[in-house]
Chain A
Amino acid sequence: MQAFTCPFCGHRDETEFHFVVEAGKPRPEPSEEVSDEKWAAYLHMGKAPKGEAREIWLHITCGLYFLMTRDTVTRDILSSECLLEASE
């Protein structure tokens, strides 16, 4: 069992997190102009890199969606970044 780092809560147990999606995949829009191929790639094609991976994770206990960079081989957590700007 791994431990991940939430930018808000810190070092927490893996069971508190959900994987959401690989980072860096902007949603193709508007729908009317997106080809079937492009949409299928958006939905189904992941890089699943060996080594450094940038992923969006959800920390279930606090509800934050954040960007985590981790090494899929060594399981090292390289960084965790909050994606929300601070509210005024």
Chain B
Amino acid sequence: MTSFRHETLGSKIDRSKVIKFEFDGRIVSGFEGDTIASALLANGVRLVGRSFKYHRPRGVWGMGSEEPNALVDVLIDGKSTPNLKATTIKAREGMVVRSVNVSPSAAKDRYRFMDLFNRFIPAGFYYKTFMALGWDRWEPMIRKMAGLGRIDANNQPPVDSPQINAECDVLVIGTGPAGLAAAKAAAEGGQKVWLIDEAQDLGGSLRWRGGTIDGKDWPEYAALSKEAVLKAGGKILLDTTLWGAFDQHMFAAWQRFTSSPDLHWRIRAKKTILAAGAIERPLWFANNDLPGVMSAEAAMHYLVCYGIVPGTDILIGTANDLTYPIAQAFGNAGVNVTLIDQRQSGPELQGVRHAYGVKLTSAEGHNGVTGATVDGEYVSTDAILVSGGYTPTVHLWCQSGGKLDWQPEIDGLVPRPGTSDMIVVGAANGTYALNAALKEGHAAGGGRGRAPKSVLKQNPAIEPVRPDPDLKGRQWIDMQNDVTLKDVSLAASEGFQSVEHLKRYTTLGMATDQGRTSNFAGLAAMSAITGKSIPETGTTTYRPPFQPVPLVTISGRRRGDLFNPLKRLVLEDAHRSEGARFREYGGWLRPSVYGVGDETTLAQEEAMIARSNVGIFDASPLGKLEVIGPKAGELLDFTGYVRMSTLKPGRARYGFMLAESGIVYDDGVVLRLDENRFIVSASSSHVDGVRWKLEDGRQDRLGGKGVYIHDMTSAWTTLTVTGPKASELIAGAGIELPALTHMSVSETKFEGRPLRIARISFTGDKSFELSVPSLHAENLRNRLSGALAQFGGKWIGLEAVMIMRAEKGYILIGKDTDGLTMPHDLGWAGPREKRTDEYIGKRSLFTPEGKSNTRKQLVGFETLDNNPLVTGSHLVPVDGDRRSLGYVTSSYFSNTLKRPIALGLLENGTGRIGQVIGCFNNGEIRMAKVIGPCALDPEGVRLNG
């Protein structure tokens, strides 16, 4: 016989509403209010999963997030979630639940033979064996057998989990008696209290242990507390896991819903009260992992809340007073139950068989408990409920920096006052007596007057229980990760005695239950083996999350297209109608090429048309930082490498912005519109960075006076017309073109609205950048586009522009430069030699590094055959020792020049012009001749024509 549903008990279930769901292919029937775990138990399902390493049969152990065994994959509403704890998930109609780490099901697992090999798989087995034999060969097989839940690759969870920031006066974590008292006291003092619990109802252990508070049944007190919290403007979040404590009293919480998306909260609290309770420890005996062995506290919870009776002949093993009310509850429910206590005496029990001074040494059975050995005698039983004491839940305390003290009376570690500014109350503080917990909560909430009262005044007696190394058989310490007492001994004998080493060597406490039920046992076992005390042995570090949180909850809406949203062009639709294909360039979604076919071929064709006739491209992402005011020139002189104060109004000048380290940060053209107005055309991906560098100079250097900076980048649209027929096309489009020489700018009108025309070039051909406020971009585009056919022109994408600028030797920062490139490496030594005033980066250009004669300099390459070099190829000497002298940064085939072109950074490159150099890629070395960077029209006839 196994577990079943009691005829009447079950405060949380609604027997009028039947719920059916699927578990490992069979239909399970439960009631509204059931969790997956309680419904399975009600149906007599004891075998709910297989252990991680040995595929041992495992049943439900606990009642909440401490559950080590009952892990399931759940599919509902088209959403699949792996590795959920069956104890924490509500049973819902139609859900499909699958046990993890089994194939095909928990009962018929084909890897259960693994358990027969257990003595060949001690701790460290995988490290020792497969690393020596060649991990590569074994990994695929081991990976297949390892791991828990299965991820459904087709499942794309919706991007729907909102992230909400919130603040409160007092955050109370846990709604047991101490939490309720704290929340009530604080709320009555006028504080905005947030009360949070992992469970779906208020009450904590009161829900199954019951209790009277101030002479009334506890639910009345819970209702008063709730009312006080809501009245003071607070909030109650149930079914919510507070999973991490972070800096500045910030906490992260995951709130679960069934009919709407889960919420993720970031809560900042002025004061935090931790009332997280305590978790029961197992007892250690042979086969203590068999299905049917269960936490006594959890069993009482299932009995009272869900009416679950775990067996027909129940054995309870303990060494503490707290188990007695549990045995009594089962006795009162009319269940056949026997309590055995390792101690010589215990509290009163009425109508329950009990014995003192006897010890449980093993559980018997194959796929579940059928008997037990007690003091050497076999006894028949189908459920063993155990209690090895309690461990205060101090995770959040420790996460917030708090330290722990050993408290022998409760055989546990409790918060050391003053080491974190959280206040810990109730069982989390080792205070197990109801009356004392209420008093602590009341005081922590700043309660005035009399504290709420109950009857149990003394802390219950708890005798320490430890794993016994002399006991025969396997005693399981960590049930989820299959760590036995022998593994801990092995680790100790191999020198892994620090708890942090023990954890990593044996994987103890590293499973998804984070060792809630096993860490203390491992620590106690190590302490017993090494002869050190528990405080000397120490604990491992507590880190968030308190329990696994779905990544979709943490990422919230920052996924997919919203993970790092791209900037979009105003004319995107118009480009699409022209056949544009889009790619990301420096955070912008821009046309790469227009039309159908091979991208490289299209780009070369586009470049050819632009070279021979005319092309138009959308250059809107190019920075348009307006620098305005009488001190604008002074600011630009300081922040730039090339002086701009000497620029004449109506003229443009190419320059660089350096970091103080002397490294080229950005390049671009500065336009001077009039005496007090400049436009800095930062590279499209560096606009924000350049803006902050300018702003830094404005505020720090000029005290914020005499100049303002406006980023107008996306407010204006820029279309660049380039090619020998550029002027004709603009005129043909009906736009009056002012007389402009190369590197000049003019402000004019287009359809009565502002139009800025700059004659500057990024292609090496005569080019005009036409900029209009984005509202009028469509009109400008239509006019220009309409004239294209007449002049044999075409829209060209960024790929064509890339080829054209490389032909001309124009660099792209971050592609043709790296984190060591200084302006004189690019052939711009003038300002470094001539400027006597201060500018950012100046001093760094004269360090030994800046003056070195082995700097990598920008050069071009001519291949000796007709194939382009591979970008990234390392440049190596033709003779002698092979070492990298630099690398190829850009490489294309130029249809215009009918040969491959390339740029690169080469050690002392200028001095090597005319020499042949090796280009090393994937083991192959190709020869190329070093030339100047500019391969097309070095005299600038095309630019100035």
A residues near B (Cβ < 8 Å) are 1-3, 13, 18, 20, 28-31, 34, 36, 39-40, 43, 58, 60, 63-65, 75-76, 83-85, 87
A2 to B165, CA, bound (A): 12
Is B794 close to A, CB under 8 A? no
Select B848's contact among A1, A31, A36, beta carbons within 8 Å.
A36
| Complex contact A2–B250 (CB within 8 A) | yes
| Complex contact A43–B838 (CB within 8 A) | no
Is B660 close to A, CB under 8 A? yes
| Complex contact B246–A29 (CB within 8 A) | no
- Say whether chain B's binding surface is mostly helix, strand, loop, or mixed: mixed
Interface centre among A20, A39, A85 (most CB of B within 10 A): A39
Contact with A along B685-718 (1 / 0, CB 8 A): 0000000100110011001110000000000000
Q: Nearest chain A CB to B780's CB is how many angstroms away?
A: 31
Q: Nearest chain B CB to A40's CB is how many angstroms away?
A: 8
Q: Nearest chain B CB to A34's CB is how many angstroms away?
A: 6
B residues near A (Cβ < 8 Å) are 165, 246-248, 250, 266, 268, 660-661, 692, 695-696, 699-700, 703-705, 838, 842-844, 846-848
| Complex contact A43–B661 (CB within 8 A) | yes
Select A31's contact among B250, B696, B843, beta carbons within 8 Å.
B843
Q: Which residues on B sit within 8 Å (CB–CB) of A63?
A: 695
Q: Which residues on A sit within 8 Å (CB–CB) of B695?
A: 58, 63, 65
| Complex contact B700–A65 (CB within 8 A) | yes
CB-CB under 8 A for A85 and B248, given A13-B165, A31-B842? no
- Other than A3-B250, A31-B843, give 6 A-B pairs with Cβ distance below 8 A: A1-B266, A3-B268, A20-B696, A28-B843, A75-B247, A84-B703
Q: Nearest chain B CB to A60's CB is how many angstroms away?
A: 8
A22 to B705, CA, bound (A): 23
| Complex contact B165–A39 (CB within 8 A) | no
Q: Nearest chain A CB to B403's CB is how many angstroms away?
A: 15
| Complex contact A87–B844 (CB within 8 A) | no
Chain A to chain B: the 3 pairs with minimum beta-carbon distance, closest first: A31-B843, A84-B704, A75-B247
Q: Which residues on B sit within 8 Å (CB–CB) of A30?
A: 838
Q: Which residues on A sit within 8 Å (CB–CB) of B696?
A: 20, 58, 65
A75 to B519, CA, bound (A): 30
- What would be 24 A-B contacts, judged by CB atoms less than 8 Å apart? A3-B250, A3-B268, A29-B838, A31-B838, A31-B843, A31-B846, A34-B843, A36-B848, A39-B843, A40-B847, A43-B661, A43-B844, A58-B692, A58-B695, A63-B695, A64-B699, A65-B695, A65-B696, A65-B699, A65-B700, A76-B248, A83-B699, A83-B700, A87-B704
| Complex contact A39–B250 (CB within 8 A) | no
Q: Nearest chain A CB to B264's CB is how many angstroms away?
A: 12
Q: Which residues on A sit within 8 Å (CB–CB) of B246?
A: 1
Select B699's contact among A1, A34, A84, beta carbons within 8 Å.
A84
Q: Nearest chain B CB to A7's CB is how many angstroms away?
A: 12
Which residue on B lies nearest to A38, using beta carbons?
B843
A3 to B846, CA, bound (A): 41
Q: Nearest chain A CB to B641's CB is how many angstroms away?
A: 13
| Complex contact A75–B838 (CB within 8 A) | no
Which residue on B lies nearest to A63, using beta carbons?
B695
Q: Which residues on A sit within 8 Å (CB–CB) of B248?
A: 2-3, 75-76
Q: Nearest chain A CB to B549's CB is how many angstroms away?
A: 15
CB-CB under 8 A for A36 and B692, given A1-B246, A75-B247? no
Q: Which residues on A sit within 8 Å (CB–CB) of B700?
A: 65, 83
Q: Nearest chain B CB to A73's CB is how many angstroms away?
A: 9
CB-CB under 8 A for A36 and B847, given A2-B250, A58-B692, A84-B704? yes
| Complex contact A1–B250 (CB within 8 A) | yes
Q: Which residues on A sit within 8 Å (CB–CB) of B847?
A: 36, 39-40
Select A18's contact among B250, B692, B838, B848, beta carbons within 8 Å.
B692
Q: Which residues on B sit within 8 Å (CB–CB) of A31?
A: 838, 842-843, 846
Which residue on A lies nearest to B696, using beta carbons?
A65
Q: Which residues on B sit within 8 Å (CB–CB) of A83?
A: 699-700
A75 to B692, CA, bound (A): 26
Q: Which residues on B sit within 8 Å (CB–CB) of A20?
A: 696
